[in-house]
Chains A and B, each alone.
Chain A
Amino acid sequence: MADTTARMGTDAVQADYMALTRRKRVYSVVLLAVFVALMAAGFRTADSRNAGGFWDGITHVFDFPAEVLGEAWANAARLPGHLVDHLPALVETLNIAAASTLIGTAFGTLLALLSTRGLARWPGLIPVFRRTMDVARAIPEIVIALVLIFVLGGGPVPAMIAIAIHTTGALGKLFSEVNENVSLKPVEGLQSVGATWAQKMYLGVIPQVGPNYVSYALLRLEINIRASAILGFVGAGGIGYDLRNAMSWGQGRYDQAAAIFILLFLTIVAVDQFSGYLRTQLTHGRQPREGARA
């Protein structure tokens, strides 16, 4: 008797679970169909609006890289010289990126702390700080840079300010997400001894979130190197300016363009390796040797 009821119970569980699974599968199929339909419809619209036409242009995609490589190969002997020539410009680009990352991290930290529930100095102003960060993220850095170049004249400072504003917004958002997972117990402990807001934040919160902050800031440094190279195209100096000049069609300076690409690539690899190493050191500390378990 007891056995048959248990048996029926299992059948019911099986039936329920199968129904659940079937429902999930139907949802998946519907979603997939909608996705495919959207992609197909979107592609037709985009293709009809395209000036040259997608199918005519696709065969020429590799023409430009082929030309650059061909010229660079023909003048391969001059590559080392070009690499040295463009090194000062690369240093300028790196400087822009580093300065803007530092400034952006500082302001981002402040805004993040001010806009996290439970930590904020003025809880009522949280929306104000959040919208400030949204604005900083929403305006493309190239627009800010163009305005500043118009006002301040060309050079690295406008680019630095433009990237710092964007970095503040981007890091502020990431940092405040990190802050949400922070334990409030140490903060309460510091409050109990009569600490000010700044003391609570610097001594109670930052030690908890430090490794995560540094990890995000290093990632941002990589992004900012690319950004500051791009801003060179609009007259902000650095290696981007050299690249624009070298890449203009039909001047026979593609060997220089190739040299600049190589420099950029090596820089990104170096920063990636270094920040990866630093991140592991910070998040895991010194690696204890394996085999501590029984």
Chain B
Amino acid sequence: MLKIEKLTKTFGGNVAVDAATLSVDGPSMIGIIGRSGAGKSTLLRMMNRLTDASEGRILFEGRDVTHLTGAAKRQWQSQCAMIFQQFNLVPRMDVVSNVLHGTLNRRSTFTTIFNLYPRADIHHAIEILDRLGIAAHAPKRAEALSGGQQQRVAIARALMQDPRMILADEPIASLDPMNAQTVMEALRRIHDEDGRTVICNLHTLDTARRYCDRVIGMRDGRIVFDGTPDQLTTGMAREIYGAGADFSEAATSTEIETLDRSAAEQARLQALREAEATA
């Protein structure tokens, strides 16, 4: 359904994304990993057409969306929702209005400027908020919410678009571990229950392993790995992150369990050493 062919983006002399090629055949949950500056964001932004591609094509169900302009481009953007690291909500507007922004492409400029959304849309927006567990905050201003709640409002806006595909650019990078887990679980649920494709930029390996069915690794603008989480060996991960032998997955982790896991590991090693000493 989605096909990207030799997509390239150059900024001046720098190549941000270098001939990226990938295809998505059916609904799936995909994680793109790589260190900062690897071109992950630029790749997603090109798919949403926030950034124009320098070369290459993006095909969605056989239709070339790379060079759409005007209304056609806006229509494509409404089908391919975007979630940002910093949430990108309108801070001074209430939560429901922010979610209703997901319908902007379907409604006329006049009705949206005068806040005349249909009753059914308002009800639907609140149902989506309820599904994400934040309906109680509906009338509050977006800026009054915590980071994790704001990111869920952003997801609700994306769902309000009823998109074919959801792109998430580092959705949990500004969140604490608990909120990060809630947001990732929400994205996974959207994929599982609605069957929507979710493409997610992540900078931590274990999040990608835990929530995604397919992992794409990028380094210096090139796609260097594309496979299942199981195929992603430690050696491959070192290659993607350009790290030395001292690299371990726990070092990139933002999850709470990792701490327990490494503590348990330490305790096990300690016990082993003591056993060896007494033997």
B115 and A9 contacting across the interface, CB-CB below 8 Å: no
- Minimum CB–CB distance from B201 to chain A (whole Å) comes to 8
Cβ contact within 8 Å between B42 and A293: yes
- CB of A28 closer than 8 Å to a CB of B: yes
Whether A78 is near chain B, meaning CB under 8 Å from some CB there, is: no
CA distance A9 to B130 in the complex (A): 9
- Closest Cβ of chain B: how far from A47's Cβ, in Å? 30
Contact residues in A for B130 (Cβ distance below 8 Å): 6, 9-10, 13
Question: Does A21 lie at the interface of the complex (its beta carbon under 8 Å from any beta carbon of B)?
Answer: yes
Do B115 and A18 touch across chains, with their CB atoms under 8 A apart? no
Interface string of B128-164 (1 = CB under 8 A from A): 0010000110110000000000000000000000000
Give the interface size class of chain A: 10 to 19
A6-B130, A10-B127, A16-B139 in contact; A294/B119 too (CB < 8 A)?
Answer: no
Q: Does B48 count as interface, using CB distance less than 8 angstroms? A: no
Judge whether A289 and B122 touch: CB under 8 Å. no
Partner of B42, one of A13, A24, A291: A291
Q: Tell me whether A21 and B135 are in contact in the complex, defined as CB-CB below 8 angstroms, given that A10-B127, A291-B42, A294-B40 are known contacts.
A: no
The proximity string for A residues 98-124 relative to B, scoring 1 for CB distances below 8 Å and 0 otherwise, is: 000000000000000000000000000
Known contacts A291-B16, A294-B39; decide if A13 and B138 are in contact (CB<8 Å): yes
Nearest-neighbour CB distance to chain A for B137, whole angstroms, equals 9
Instruction: Tell me which of B40, B119, B170, B201 contacts A18 (CB under 8 A).
Output: B119
Partner among A9, A18, A25 whose Cβ is within 8 Å of the Cβ of B136:
A9
Chain A proximity mask over B28-47: 1 for CB below 8 Å, otherwise 0: 00000011111111100000
| Distance between Cα atoms of A24 and B96 in the complex (Å) | 14
Residues from chain A with a CB closer than 8 A to the CB of B110 are none
Cβ of A56 under 8 Å from chain B: no
Contact at A14–B14, with CB atoms within 8 Å?
A: no
CB pair B41–A294 under 8 Å, yes or no, is yes
Q: Does A290 contact B (CB under 8 A)?
A: yes
What residue in chain A is nearest B131 (Cβ atoms)? A10
Chain B residue nearest to A28 (CB atoms) is: B114
Known: A10-B127, A293-B42. A21 touches B122 (CB 8 A): yes
List of B residues within 8 angstroms of A289 by Cβ? 11-12, 14
Smallest CB-CB separation from A16: which chain B residue?
B139
Closest to A289 in B: B12
Q: Please tell me if the beta carbons of B37 and A21 are within 8 angstroms of each other in the complex.
A: no
Question: Please, what's the 1-or-0 string for A277-294, where 1 marks a CB less than 8 Å from any CB in chain B?
Answer: 000000000000111111
Measured CA separation A10–B135 after assembly (Å): 7
| Chain B CB within 10 A, most for which of A20, A24, A289, A293 | A293
Cβ-neighbour of A25 out of B14, B115, B139 (below 8 A): B115
Report yes or no: B40 in contact with A14, Cβ–Cβ below 8 A: no
CB-defined contacts of A17 to chain B, threshold 8 Å: 96, 122, 126, 138-139
Interface residues, chain A, with chain B CB atoms under 8 Å away: 6, 9-10, 13-14, 16-18, 20-21, 24-25, 28, 289-294
A-B pairs, top 7 by smallest CB distance, nearest first, are A291-B11, A294-B36, A10-B130, A294-B41, A13-B135, A14-B126, A291-B16
B contacts, CB < 8 Å to A: 9, 11-12, 14, 16, 34-42, 96, 114-116, 119, 122-123, 126-127, 130, 135-136, 138-139, 170, 201, 203
What would 21 A/B residue contacts be, using CB atoms closer than 8 Å? Answer: A9-B135, A10-B126, A10-B127, A13-B126, A13-B136, A14-B123, A17-B96, A17-B139, A25-B115, A25-B116, A289-B12, A290-B11, A290-B12, A291-B12, A291-B16, A294-B37, A294-B38, A294-B41, A294-B170, A294-B201, A294-B203
